[in-house]
Amino acid sequence: MKRKLNSILCFFIVTIVILIIVINNNDIITAASKVKEDVILSTEQLVLDKYDDNDNKVLMEDENDIVTQSKANNTQQIFNEQKRVDLENKIKAYLGNNINNIGLSYYDIDSNKQIVINGDKQFLAASTVKVQMNMILFDMIESGQVKASETLKYTSDCYEDGTGILQSQDLSKPLSIKLLSNYSIIYSDNIATNMIMNRIGYNNMRNLIDRKLGHATDHSRNYITANDETTLLKLLYYNYDNNPFYSQLIETMKKTVFHDRIDLYIPHNTVAHKIGNYESYVNDVGIIFTEDPYILSIYSKNVPNANEIIAHISKLIYDYQNQN
Predicted pLDDT at 39: 42
- pTM of this structure: 0.79
94 lies in some domain: no
CATH number of the domain residue 305 falls in: 3.40.710.10
What pLDDT digit, counting tens, does each position of 66-99 carry? Answer: 766 666 567 767 878 999 999 999 999 999 999 9
pLDDT of residue 270: 97
Residues 269-290 have a mean pLDDT of 98
| Per-residue model confidence (pLDDT) at position 79 | 72
206 in any annotated domain:
yes
Of 164, 212, 227, the residue nearest 191 (C-alpha)? 164
Q: Give one DSSP letter per residue of 163-222, joined into a string.
A: S-SGGGS--SS-EEHHHHHHHHHHS--HHHHHHHHHHH-HHHHHHHHHHHHTS---TTTT
Q: How confident is the model at residue 177 (pLDDT cuts 50, 70, 90)?
A: very high
Domain that holds residue 240: 101-322
In the predicted model, what is the mean pLDDT of the chain? 88
Domain count, the chain: 1
In a domain, 278, yes or no: yes
pLDDT digits (tens, 9 = 90+) for 9-61: 555 554 554 554 444 445 544 544 554 455 445 555 654 555 566 666 666 66
> Over the stretch 145-175, which tens digit does the pLDDT of each residue have?
999 999 999 999 999 999 999 999 999 999 9
Is 42 contained in some domain?
Answer: no
